[in-house]
Structure 1
Amino acid sequence: MATSYLDHHLALLNHLRGILVALGEAEQVEDDTHALFLERFDELLSELPGDTEGNLYLGQDLISQIFHRYPQIAHLVPRDLLWFFGGDCLHFMPDEEIELFQRLDERRYEAEQNDEPFDWNQEKQLLALPPDSSKH
């Protein structure tokens, strides 16, 4: 079942929140501002569905902070979130990955314009295939 573009990213944010909570519970956080960071993260989760555009900067800020505050989990940040929030988050993506997400966004836009269904994850897998592989 395909979910909406926003729902997909909200699910990824919730997954990332779980990782952040586990990090705190494992006492792998050195400062006492972790709880405040989680509060801001929860604010993003609650505000994003009602005002996506207005909360993109908060998302960029929080995702970028994860790379600086919690480098031990940077590899666990879903790449889709970097693209979704854009801005400073794109500094954490190599050019080839940015190109992949640009093509993916173009396909999503085209599907929306034609009122066609679009499965973000399926399309991402298809685009990630090597050029010489068979796409069915």
Structure 2
Amino acid sequence: MASAHLDHHLALLAHLRGILVALGEAEQILDSSHSLFLERFDELVSDLPRDPEASLYLGQELISQIFHRYPQIAHLVPRDLLWFFGGDCLHFMPDEEIELFQRLDERRFEAQQNDEPFDWNQEKQLLALPPESSKH
């Protein structure tokens, strides 16, 4: 996996962890397993750079658990993480969004093959534009 691509998702995981910590600090979690969940989340963040492929399953499991354990913050889970981890996480994405991320990944791989720079966020914004607005 390209470093910039991985770094982008690690930053999103850090953001999501901050939300989870704030949720616990606000005492909105009555479940005592919240700290254990955060420990597993931290394990994912530390293992992901070392072994991205092996970490995908833990990522799928934890992201999916957020939707079930913490439905009040489900809308705050970055959509990029759902696509990045794939698997069961894709159940939380509508078909149109999956198609957008498929096109985005195709563009990323094409840029990689051609040794061209690729800005994930910029490309995502361009792909999200309605067809008539991308012409200037």
TM-score, normalising length: structure 1:
0.97
Q: Please name the residue that 1:113 is paired with.
A: 113
Note the residue ranges of structure 2 that are not aligned, 5 or more in a row: none
Superposition misfits of 4+ residues, deviation over 2 angstroms: none
Identity of aligned residues (%): 86
Q: Please name the residue that 2:13 is paired with.
A: 13
Question: What one-letter code is carried by the residue in structure 1 that aligns with 2:134?
Answer: S
Question: What one-letter code is carried by the residue in structure 1 that aligns with 2:31?
Answer: D
How many residue pairs align between the two structures? 134
Q: Does the alignment pair 1:134 with 2:119?
A: no
TM-score, normalising length: structure 2:
0.97
- What value does the CA root-mean-square deviation take over the aligned residues? 0.9
CA–CA distance in structure 2, aligned partners of residues 130 and 108 of structure 1: 20
Where 2:49 maps in the other structure, the secondary structure is coil
Note the residue ranges of structure 1 that are not aligned, 5 or more in a row: none
Q: Please name the residue that 1:25 is paired with.
A: 25
Q: 1:123 to 1:135 in 2, by over 3 A?
A: farther
CA–CA distance in structure 1, aligned partners of residues 60 and 135 of structure 2: 34
Q: 1:34 to 1:125 in 2, by over 3 A?
A: same
Q: Please name the residue that 2:49 is paired with.
A: 49
Deviation of 1:99 (Å): 0.1
Q: Please name the residue that 1:34 is paired with.
A: 34
Where 2:110 maps in the other structure, the secondary structure is helix
Structure with greater helix share of residues = 2
